[in-house]
Amino acid sequence: MSTTPDRTRVRLSDISSRAYEHPADRGALVALRSLRGFDEVFKRMSGLFNERALRLMFLASAVRVSERQFPDVYDYVRDAAYTLDLKQVPELYIQMNPQPNAMAIGSNKPFIVITTGLFDLLDAQEQRFVVGHEVGHILSGHAVYRTMLLALIRLATRVAWIPLGYIGLRAIVAALEEWYRKSELSCDRAGLLAAQDPDAAKRALMKMAGGSRLAEMNVDAFLEQAKEYDAAEDVRDGFLKLLITQGHTHPFAVIRLAELDRWIKEGSYQRVLNGDYPRRDTDSDTRIGDEARNAARSYKESWERTSDPLVGTLRDVAGSAASAGGKIFDTVADRWKNGSGNRRDDNGAA
């Protein structure tokens, strides 16, 4: 299948997903990827849902885009794969569903599903952004780890009658939900890199909040909403924001637009287009400790930007956590790798 784009965009050859991943998302992924055998464990867990059955279900009940069906959308996924240098163009299905949604499913052969509710809401360039967002999920390998979250959520509901077991699982689920939300911020950046149209990306995020009447909305006013939400009047609002976030796997639309706007304004987007980004052949050189420190530093910086009085009481914690957490992750990773190496030597295998 050809992956030549229909118009000139900057092709990001051999781009590593680390180029667009949010530090908290990247830290978690680097840690998981570096532990030998961990990916295989997660892939086995992904068998908790039947990937082949899901693909057959969409093959039977949705429309698979191609040169003959939704040819424009076929070009969008082809172009996104070309721009982000994804070797295999994923299948994309359009599903009849009025609820706006899009998702990347599977680990062995991931595919994309976009509902008609989202498809009909967006114009062509906005659709490119959404398709690129989902291609970013595939390039980052998010689907495998998201499967674990879904499995744990189902398990948590089954053991809810066991107080201690439920509390422990809820803590794990809450941490995974936080990672999941950061992975969405990552892939908003991937969507922008694929579409290379900042205005379209912002329009798409506004429409996900306010619907199709774009003429009635304003990006600057929407960003002001984000500032107001971030500020909070007192500590009570800070606690309320924590409560309403629980159970959500996606950040709220104002947060997504504000984060993407900040990524653009700080120059990261343009640097990637200029070719200043990590390559895939350097992925193995990344250290867990460095990424843990980067993640903690990112949280601290976001806390320093916020006017939320509750967050203001936590700012000093991240500084020490960044250093201590990095050392802990490095130690664990080294022991895991050394243990794996010893086991291979005992078995006489390379």
Give me the active site residues, please: 134
CA separation for the pair 156, 44 (Å, rounded): 19
H/E run at residue 201: helix 198-210
Whether residue 316 contacts residue 12, with contact meaning beta carbons closer than 8 Å, is answered with no
Where do we find the tokens 């030597």?
345
Q: Which ranges in 23-112 belong to alpha helices (H)?
A: 23-34, 38-45, 51-61, 71-83
For residues 72 and 65, give the distance between their C-alpha atoms in angstroms, rounded to a whole number.
9
Cα–Cα distance measured from residue 171 to residue 205, given in angstroms and rounded to the nearest whole number: 30
- Return the number of other C-beta atoms located less than 10 Å from residue 169's C-beta: 19
CA-CA distance, 183 to 169, in Å (whole number)? 21
Q: Pairing state of beta strands 102-105 and 92-95?
A: unpaired
Q: For residue 92, give the 3-state DSSP assignment.
A: strand
131: burial class by Cβ within 10 Å (0-12, 13-18, 19+)? buried
Determine the 3-state secondary structure of 217 from DSSP: coil
Residue with tokens 């996606």: 250
User: Given the structure tokens 């030549």, which residue do they identify?
Assistant: 4
Pair of tokens at residue 198 = 């900042």
